[in-house]
Amino acid sequence: MVRHEKWLTAVEDVAELDDPAEARAVLAAVMAAFARCLPDAARGWLADRLPSPEAGPVRDPGPANLESGTDVEAAVARRLRTTPERGRYLTQAVLTALARTDPALAEELRGRLPRAVVETLAPAGESPRDAASHRPEVPTRLSDEEVARGLRHLTGWSGDRHGIERTVQLPADRITPLVERVQREARAMNDHAHVERADGGVTFRLRTGRQGVVTEPDLWLAERIDEAVAAVGSGGRPG
């Protein structure tokens, strides 16, 4: 098993991060994304070789539907609420740090990941800090292709560059807790979800500004809505 503190230090150094807590979040996001590239058996193999903080997300990271480096960097970006460019460099930094601390595990992981992931995420040599590391004041609008790619990793969403939506069917007593949780998530992200209730369900619609465009923060909020639906819909209540 790779030594956790040594790996964290290497991630912090290679990615030029500010503190160990940030490195820990990056490491968890990247390894969870890699797990979504692997079948269940390989996820177990990877989790058994990781320290406990990262093993949990690897064992149950979500559907195994990431097939390329672009998919991985987008998943990392959504989890860390940053740009895809930043997600790419952070992912490359984690791979480089793993190669420094446990070369055998790094090589075996590369052998198990889809070739399209390994080839796309080959380090480019540019410093992660030189990538677009902060959300711009005005988020960049996404194209239909970019929206479609983002929706592939969400549950039950549809739409295009003008807006996305998801309708959820739930018992009546769970609709209000779900809506309240979604509204809290939206406020925390300085975003807004349009909510339309109907008998037996609720529809969430996301877009940015009056122009009706979709941006990365809309996809981030959609992912948080998916998490809220899973928690409340399974009997959980928002905290």
Q: Which residue has the higher pLDDT, 231 or 159?
A: 159
| 185, 213: one domain | yes
pLDDT of residue 134: 39
Mean pLDDT of the chain: 82
| 120, 38: one domain | yes
Residues 6+ apart with CB under 8 A from 52: none
Report if residue 138 sits inside a domain.
no
| 108, 76: one domain | yes
pLDDT of residue 153: 84
| 92, 11: one domain | yes
| 172, 214: one domain | yes
The CATH number of the domain where 33 resides is what? Answer: 1.10.490.110
| 111, 182: one domain | no
| 120, 177: one domain | no
Domain termination residue (choose one: 74, 97, 130): 130
Instruction: Check: CB of residue 51 under 8 Å from CB of residue 162.
Output: no
130 falls in which pLDDT band (50, 70, 90)?
very low
Mean pLDDT within 7-34:
87
| 107, 170: one domain | no
Indicate the pTM of the whole model.
0.56
190 falls in which pLDDT band (50, 70, 90)?
low
Q: Total structural domains in the chain? A: 2
135 falls in which pLDDT band (50, 70, 90)?
very low
Report if residue 49 sits inside a domain.
yes
Per-residue 3-state assignment (H helix, E strand, C coil) for the chain: CCCHHHHHHHHHHHCCCCCHHHHHHHHHHHHHHHHCCCCHHHHHHHHHCCCHHHHHHHHCCCCCCCCCHHHHHHHHHHHHCCCHHHHHHHHHHHHHHHHHHCHHHHHHHHHHCCHHHHHHCCCCCCCHHHCCCCCCCCCCECCHHHHHHHHCCCCCCEEECCEEEEEEECCHHHHHHHHHHHHHHHHHCCCCCEEEEECCEEEEEECECCCCECEHHHHHHHHHHHHHHHHHHCCCCCC
Provide the domain limits for residue 207.
Answer: 144-233
Q: Which residue has the higher pLDDT, 56 or 25?
A: 25
Domain termination residue (choose one: 75, 107, 130): 130
| 99, 122: one domain | yes
117 falls in which pLDDT band (50, 70, 90)?
confident
pLDDT of residue 100: 86
pLDDT of residue 158: 96
pLDDT of residue 184: 87
Predicted confidence (pLDDT) at residue 131 exceeds the cutoff of 50: no
Report if residue 136 sits inside a domain.
no
| 46, 159: one domain | no
Q: Which residue has the higher pLDDT, 23 or 190?
A: 23
The CATH number of the domain where 190 resides is what? Answer: 3.30.1360.20
Predicted confidence (pLDDT) at residue 159 exceeds the cutoff of 80: yes
Mean pLDDT within 209-236:
81
Instruction: Check: CB of residue 117 under 8 Å from CB of residue 68.
Output: yes
Residue 27 in tokens: 């490491």
Predicted confidence (pLDDT) at residue 1 exceeds the cutoff of 90: no
Report if residue 120 sits inside a domain.
yes
Predicted confidence (pLDDT) at residue 233 exceeds the cutoff of 80: no
Q: Which residue has the higher pLDDT, 124 or 198?
A: 198
